[in-house]
Amino acid sequence: MRTHQCGELRPEHIGQRATLTGWVASRREHGEKLAFVDLRDHTGVTQCVVDNAVDVRPEYVLRITGVVAERPAESRNDRLATGGIELQDCVVEILNVAEPPPFPVSERADQVAENTRLQHRYIDIRRERMQRNLRLRASVNSAIRSAMESQGFVEVETPMLVPSTPEGAREFIVPSRQQPGSFYALPQSPQLFKQLLMVAGIDRYYQLARCLRDEDLRADRQYEFMQLDAEMSFVDQNDVHRAIGAAVLAAAAAAGQPEAAIETMTWHDAMNRFGVDKPDLRFGMELVDLTEVFGATEFKAFAGAATIKGINATGKADEMGRNKLDGLTDKAKKIGAKGLVWLKVAADGSLESPVAKFLSDTEQGALKSALSAAPGDLLLIVADEWSMTCEVLGTLRNDLGRPPVHEGPYRYLWVVDFPMFIGVDEVTGRPKPGHHPFTQPHPDDVEMLETDPLKVRSQAYDLVLNGWELGSGSIRIHQPELQARVFRLLGISDEEAQKRFGFFLNPFKYGAPPHGGFGLGIDRLVAIFAGEENIREVIAFPKTQSGMDPMTNAPTPVAQKQLDDLGIRVLPPKA
RNA sequence: GGUCCCGUGGUGAAGUUGGAGUUCACGCCGGCCUGUCAAGCCGGAGGUCGCGGGUUCGAGUCCCGUCGGGACCGCCA
C-alpha cells in the first residue's frame, strides 16, 4: 500500500515518486487551489501539497501519492525531521473517515485528564509520546531476552492458574467450574515453579512473566505487572548480581541510556546513611550522626536519645516558611517520631530556631561543623531509636531533595544483607520475615537463628535505580533441615508447612541444587528510561487506582448463569 | 481502612464577598483565502457547573453525602 513511511523521506529522495499512508495530523487550506496536509504515522509527519480542494479532516486515514520535492528555502521546517522536503502533485485517497477525536493527537493531550486518555487509549497511543514509550518497552524486552539467552538462560513458561498460597500479597482467585467451591490463584510471581525448575535441572531459567497482586494501586504499582523472572543453580549472590546486572545494563543500552556501573551497599549502610532501603544516590543530603555532638546536652528532647541524626537541606532556609516546617514536623510525627527540630542558618552564621536557646555554643558550633552548615541552609534533626531516626530523616530527605525521574545520572545499586526478619509480630510474638520464608540466611549468622533472630542477615538483595526498587531476589534455602528450622521459627509447624507448601517442599528431598534468583520489574525500569513518573505511561492498557479500566469498563458483573455454573453466590453489598 | 488534591460546552482553564450558564484558549460547523506548517480572517453552534440532598429570596461558589480521577499512608512475604 505504501512505498515509504511518514518520517522517512529526506532530501536524498528528491525526485522520487512516493506513496505514504497514515492519519491526517493537520490540514491547512488556502482556497481551492492549494492545501497542505500533514500526514502522520508512527515514524513521523510529512507535509503533502495538494493543488485542489480536498475535504479531509484530522485523523482521516489517507493514502497519498506524490513526488518528493525540495522545499523552497524560506518554507523549510526545522522542527520536522522531514522538514527539508514535501510531497508535491499529490493524489489523495481517503481510506477511512474519522470523527473529531475527543482530544488532540499531539503533545497537547499531555494536559488532558488521564481518565479521558484511558477511555480512548487507542487514540492516546497514536501520540508520539505513547508510541515512543511502548516501542522503548519493546526494545528493553528484546535486549533483556538476548542478554539472558546469551548467558545460558532458558525461557520456560509457568502456569497462570496456580494453587493459592495465602502468604504475602493478596491473590486474585479464579473459580473452578469442574470443582465448584475450589479455586485457582493467579500467580503473584512464578516463585515456587522457578525453584522447582532448579530442582529439575534447568540450571538457568528466565521468563518475562506477568505477575498479579490484588493490592492497592499506586504510581509504580498495577494489579498486573511484568517481571524479568530468573533463577540460577550452583551460584552465590554475586553470580546472580552479575547475570541480572548484565541484562539491566543491556536494557539501558538498548534504551539509549549512558553507560553506568552498579554499586553495592549493605542494607544497614543504606538505612544509616539514607534512611531508606532504596536510596536515591542522585543527590547528597546524607544523614549525619550527631549522637556524639549532643552526648552531654541539657536539651531535653535530645538528652538520652539512642540515635541523633541530622540532614542539611542546603539552601532551603528561605523557601521553607513556618507552614511548611510545621508540615515537616507533622510528617515526622505521623511516621512515629516524637518531634522534629529545625534550625535555619542565618546570614551571619547564627542558628535561628525555636530551640536554639537550649543548645550551648559548643553544641551549635559542632552541629554546624558536622552538617557543613552555611548561611541559607535548613538543618533538620531527629532524636529517637536508630531505626525511627533513620526512617524519619530518610523520608524528609526524599521529600526535600529528590529530583524528578528524568534527571540523571543513573545510579544503580545493589542493596545486600537485608535482615532476615523485620521486627516481631505483635500478636504471635514470632519474627516477621523480611523477604519470603525460603530465603537463605547469611552463612555467618545461621547460628543466631534461634538465639537472636533479629540480628540474622539474609542473602536477600534488592536492585535499586534512582530511588526506585526495581526488584528483589535471594539465595534460597535448598536443605530441608534448614527450611524446617526457619518454618519453626516463624511458628509454622512441620504439619502446616506440609499442608501449605508440600508440593513445593517435598521435591527438595530429591536432590535440590543450591540456587538463587531474582525478579525485576519491567514496568518500573521502562518508566525510568522513558522519564515517566508513572508506570501507566509505559503500559498500553493500564487500570486506574481503583482497579478499573475506563475503556472496557472492567470489572463488570457477570451473568447469573456463569455464577451458577461455578457454584458462586454473590452477597448483597454491605449496608 | 485513612489523609490530601481535583471534577465547569469535545479539550484545557478562569469564575472575586453567594447575585442571570458568565469568560478565555484550543477544537467543532459554515464562509473567505495560492506557501502554510498548532496557518490566517469573518461568522456560528455547543452546558445535567459529576450526582443527590441541605442552607438561602438566590448556590458553579457554603454545608453534608455520594460517585469518579489522582498523590500518598496502611497494604505490596
- Tens digits of residue pLDDT in A197-251: 999 999 999 999 999 999 999 999 999 999 999 999 999 999 999 999 999 999 9
Mean pLDDT of A567-572: 88
Residue A401 sits at φ, ψ, to 5 deg, of -120, -10
Give A110's contacts (C-beta < 8 A, 6+ positions apart). A129
Question: Rounded to whole angstroms, how far apart are CA atoms A189 and A358?
Answer: 54
Q: For residue A51, which nucleotide's C1' is closest to its Cα?
A: B34
**Cα separation, A531 vs A230, whole angstroms:** 26
* A437 CB below 7 A from strand B atoms: yes
Average pLDDT over chain A, rounded to whole?
A: 95
Note the helical H segments in A222-376. Answer: 237-254, 267-274, 322-335, 361-370
C-alpha A251/C-alpha A264 separation (Å) is 19
* Cα A375 from Cα A234, distance rounded (Å): 56
pLDDT at residue A98, as a whole number:
96
What pLDDT is attached to residue A152? 98
Nucleotide nearest to A109 (CA to C1'): B11
Report the 10 Å Cβ neighbour count for A465.
25
What's residue A434's pLDDT?
85
CB A74 within 8 A of CB A33: no
What does the alpha-carbon distance between residue A175 and residue A501 come to, in Å, rounded to a whole number?
A: 21
Q: Is the CB of A114 under 7 A from strand B?
A: yes
Tens-digit pLDDT profile for residues A484-518: 999 999 888 889 889 888 999 999 999 999 999 99
Cβ neighbour number for residue A389 with a 10 Å cutoff: 27
pTM over 0.90: yes
Confirm whether any atom of chain B, the nucleic acid strand, is less than 7 Å from CB of A404.
Answer: no
**Alpha-carbon distance A436 to A426, whole Å?**
19
A window 504-533: Cβ near strand B (< 7 A):
none
The distance (Å) linking the CA of A24 with the C1' of B75 is 46
Task: Judge contact between A46 and A7, C-beta under 8 A.
Answer: yes
The pLDDT tens digits for A521-562 are 999 999 999 999 999 999 999 999 999 999 999 999 999 999
Share of chain A above pLDDT 70, in %: 99
**A285: which DSSP letter?**
-
Task: Return the amino acid letter for A327.
Answer: G
Going by pLDDT thresholds of 50, 70 and 90, the confidence category of residue A425 is confident
Angle between helices A322-335 and A386-401 (to 10 degrees): 140
User: Taking the CA atoms of chain A, what radius of gyration do you get in angstroms?
Assistant: 30
**List of residues 6+ apart from A279 with CB closer than 8 A:** A265, A270, A273, A394, A413, A415, A464, A467
Backbone angles phi, psi at A502, to 5 degrees: -50, -45
What number is the average pLDDT over the span A48-52? 94
Say whether the CB atom of A548 is under 7 angstroms from strand B. Answer: yes
Quote the pLDDT of residue A430.
86
Strand B–CB A79 distance below 7 A: yes
The one-character DSSP state at A200 is T
User: What digits encode the pLDDT tens for the residues A337-353?
Assistant: 999 999 999 999 999 99
- Taking the CA of residue A543 and the C1' sugar atom of nucleotide B55, their distance in angstroms comes to 39
Q: Which nucleotide is nearest to A221 (CA to C1')?
A: B76
Question: Which grid cell sits at A413?
Answer: 545499586
Whole-angstrom distance, CA of residue A204 vs CA of residue A212: 23
Question: What number of residues does chain A have?
Answer: 575
CA A164 to chain centre: 26
Answer yes or no: are the C-beta atoms of A500 and A563 closer than 8 Å: no
Q: What DSSP state is assigned to residue A147?
A: H
* Cell numbers for A573: 453489598
- Angstrom CA distances, A125 to A106, A117, A472, A481, stand at 10, 9, 31, 53
Predicted local distance difference test score (pLDDT) of residue A91:
95
Mean pLDDT for A293-306 is 93
pLDDT at A574: 61
pLDDT tens for each residue of A2-30 = 999 999 999 999 999 999 999 999 999 99
Phi–psi pair at A300, nearest 5 degrees:
-60, -35
- pLDDT band for A92, please (50, 70, 90 cuts): very high
Banded model confidence at residue A571, pLDDT cuts 50, 70, 90: confident
**Cβ(A122)–Cβ(A541) below 8 Å:** no
Mean pLDDT over A282-307 rounds to 94
A58 is near strand B: CB distance < 7 Å? yes
ipTM, interface predicted TM-score of the complex: 0.94
Q: What phi, psi does A394 have (nearest 5°)? A: -65, -40
Q: In whole angstroms, what is the distance from residue A575 CA to residue A571 CA?
A: 11
- Report pLDDT for A172: 96
Residue reference for cell 539474609: A458
Interval A427-466: pLDDT, tens: 778 888 888 899 999 999 999 999 999 999 999 999 999 9
- In sequence order, the 6+-apart residues with CB closer than 8 A to the CB of A499 are none
Residues A372, A310 contacting (CB under 8 angstroms):
no
A419 has a pLDDT exceeding 60: yes
Distance from CA(A106) to C1'(B11), angstroms, rounded = 12
Find and give the residue nearest to B68, measured CA to C1': A115
Amino acid at site A570: V
Over 70: is that where the pLDDT of A363 sits? yes
Query: Stated in angstroms, how far is A354 CA from B3 C1'?
Result: 28
Nucleotide closest to A99 measured between CA and C1': B28
Q: Are strands A173-175 and A183-185 parallel, antiparallel or unpaired?
A: antiparallel
Q: What letters, b where the CB count within 10 A reaches 16 and e where it falls short, cover A291-325?
A: eebbeebebebbeebebbbbbbbbebbeebeeeeb
Q: What is the mean pLDDT of residues A358-373?
A: 96
Q: What's the confidence (pLDDT) of residue A102?
A: 95
Looking at the predicted structure, is the pLDDT value of residue A575 above 60? no
Question: Residue A231: which H helix or E strand, with range?
Answer: strand A224-233
Distance CA A104 to C1' B14 in A: 22
- pLDDT score at A76: 94
**Averaged pLDDT for residues A143-165:** 97
Name the closest residue (CA) to the C1' of nucleotide B72.
A218
